[in-house]
Amino acid sequence: MVAITLLHLLGLLLATITPLVYAMPSIFSRNKNSPLQRKDTLNEAAKSSTCAETSFDSLSWTAQDFWFRSSVIFSTPAHRAVADGEVSFNLTNTALDYTQSCYARSLSPTDFFYGNEWYTCDEPFPTGTNITGAPNITVPAFAMAVFRFDRSAGKLDVNQTWACLGDDLDGGRDSIFFNASGTANISLQCDSQRWQNPDWKMGQLYSTDTVDCAAKNVTIFPFQIQAWEGLGGVSI
Ligand SMILES: *[C@@H]1O[C@H](CO)[C@@H](O)[C@H](O)[C@H]1NC(C)=O
Ligand SMILES: *[C@@H]1O[C@H](CO)[C@@H](O)[C@H](O)[C@H]1NC(C)=O
Ligand SMILES: *[C@@H]1O[C@H](CO)[C@@H](O)[C@H](O)[C@H]1NC(C)=O
Ligand SMILES: *[C@@H]1O[C@H](CO)[C@@H](O)[C@H](O)[C@H]1NC(C)=O
Ligand SMILES: *[C@@H]1O[C@H](CO)[C@@H](O)[C@H](O)[C@H]1NC(C)=O
Ligand SMILES: *[C@@H]1O[C@H](CO)[C@@H](O)[C@H](O)[C@H]1NC(C)=O
Ligand SMILES: *[C@@H]1O[C@H](CO)[C@@H](O)[C@H](O)[C@H]1NC(C)=O
């Protein structure tokens, strides 16, 4: 029974996250300069879950294994035949015990990523994932993350929504939902290779430009966190 309940729960959470985010009044919010408010209104079980504690008290993300690559190929001096940029990293959250892969591709040279478009990271628990068999779940059941990257400014922005499920799955009163936004400056180490055909003739490649960049693990600090109790959202 627990197994079925959890799967249904997960489906429900995924299906209702959008209305939840907008419909549920947030019970706490914080920006960089003020502490989370009203934490004391939560019941003890919710407050003391490791996930919730960490979310409230020491939240940060790490972008691991960050890389950016681009390739631009001209087939004639005037014809750009290929323009391809990719960015990738793995996102971890201090409150969560799983990693999300974040990846985006752009065909807009020459910086490819201009900080104006949000991309979605992988869903860590795709439909069918077996997270059953844990009768007393105290870890979050889902997370949704989006990011945007500004290549010329070296700026990475992340928003993530997650849940710290309490162990009172019937009432769902112990569960807390969070969303948070963070930003970081990324210092990239890049290797750029440019080749130009010294004696170009029609039918040959005219030039190629490749850029291959990587960054050390980047810590991303939240500048905004919101949390709300998942009363209706996790009751089934
Ligand atoms: C967080 O959720 C609240 C609703 O509770 C919503 O107003 C806000 O836009 C969300 N913020 C982010 C960064 O998703
Ligand atoms: C990033 O995630 C991918 C896919 O899950 C995995 O193959 C890779 O090992 C991860 N890299 C790091 C540095 O965690
Ligand atoms: C899912 O987990 C349950 C409980 O641990 C186990 O009995 C079942 O075989 C698992 N199913 C799959 C498809 O892994
Ligand atoms: C789950 O919680 C119940 C009640 O608190 C407890 O009796 C049971 O041993 C717990 N099960 C596990 C696997 O921790
Ligand atoms: C991410 O969060 C920022 C600031 O909290 C907000 O302005 C922006 O709309 C959010 N983007 C998405 C795609 O949720
Ligand atoms: C990123 O760098 C800019 C310019 O140096 C600075 O104003 C900003 O505070 C930095 N952001 C973070 C999150 O460190
Ligand atoms: C990045 O973080 C991961 C996980 O914490 C760690 O295994 C890896 O060694 C770190 N890489 C660097 C270059 O610090």
Task: Note the pLDDT of residue 48.
Answer: 54
Q: How far is 144 from 142, CA to CA, in rounded Å? A: 7
Over 60: is that where the pLDDT of 171 sits? Answer: no
Q: Would you place residue 25 in the very low, low, confident or very high pLDDT band (cuts 50, 70, 90)? A: very low
Backbone angles phi, psi at 84, to 5 degrees: -145, 125
Task: Note the pLDDT of residue 15.
Answer: 35
Over 80: is that where the pLDDT of 207 sits? Answer: yes
Give the helix ranges, DSSP H, for 96-167. Answer: none
Per the CB < 8 A criterion, the answer to whether 59 and 100 are in contact is: no
93-126 per-position pLDDT tens digit:
998 877 899 999 999 999 999 999 999 998 776 5
78-101 per-position pLDDT tens digit:
999 999 999 999 999 998 877 899
Task: Note the pLDDT of residue 226.
Answer: 84
Over 80: is that where the pLDDT of 12 sits? Answer: no
171 Cα to the center of ligand 6, angstroms = 43
Give the residue, out of 93, 147, 157, 226, with the most ligand 1 atoms within 8 A of its beta carbon, to mutate for a pocket test.
226
More confident residue, 43 or 130: 43
Which residue, judged by its Cα, is nearest atom 5 of ligand 5?
181
Backbone angles phi, psi at 83, to 5 degrees: -145, 110
Task: Note the pLDDT of residue 166.
Answer: 55
Give the residue, out of 127, 132, 137, with the most ligand 3 atoms within 8 A of its beta carbon, to mutate for a pocket test.
132
Tokens 């627990």, residue located = 2
What is the percent of the chain with per-residue pLDDT over 70, rounded to a whole number? 63
For the whole model, what pTM was predicted? Answer: 0.74
Classify residue 27 by its DSSP letter. Answer: S
43 Cα to the center of ligand 6, angstroms = 37
The mean pLDDT of 139-143, rounded to a whole number, is 51
Task: Note the pLDDT of residue 165.
Answer: 63
Q: How far is 1 from 7, CA to CA, in rounded Å? A: 10
Task: Note the pLDDT of residue 154.
Answer: 96
181 lines ligand 5 (CB under 6 A): yes
22 Cα to the center of ligand 1, angstroms = 7
Q: Which atom of ligand 6 is nearest to the CA of 185?
A: 1
Give the residue, out of 147, 179, 220, with the most ligand 1 atoms within 8 A of its beta carbon, to mutate for a pocket test.
179
The mean pLDDT of 172-190, rounded to a whole number, is 83
Q: How far is 117 from 149, CA to CA, in rounded Å? A: 8
Q: Which atom of ligand 1 is nearest to the CA of 159?
A: 13
Nearest residue to 54 (alpha-carbon basis) of 101, 97, 10: 97
Over 70: is that where the pLDDT of 235 sits? Answer: no
Task: Note the pLDDT of residue 175.
Answer: 64
- Which ligand does the CA of 217 lie closest to? 7
29 lines ligand 5 (CB under 6 A): no
Over 50: is that where the pLDDT of 130 sits? Answer: no
The mean pLDDT of 190-207, rounded to a whole number, is 96
Q: How far is 219 from 62, CA to CA, in rounded Å? A: 5
Over 60: is that where the pLDDT of 46 sits? Answer: no
CA distances from 134 to 1, 5, 44, 53, 66 (A): 11, 11, 21, 20, 33
The mean pLDDT of 144-164, rounded to a whole number, is 93
1 Cα to the center of ligand 5, angstroms = 38
30 Cα to the center of ligand 6, angstroms = 20
State the average pLDDT for the chain.
75
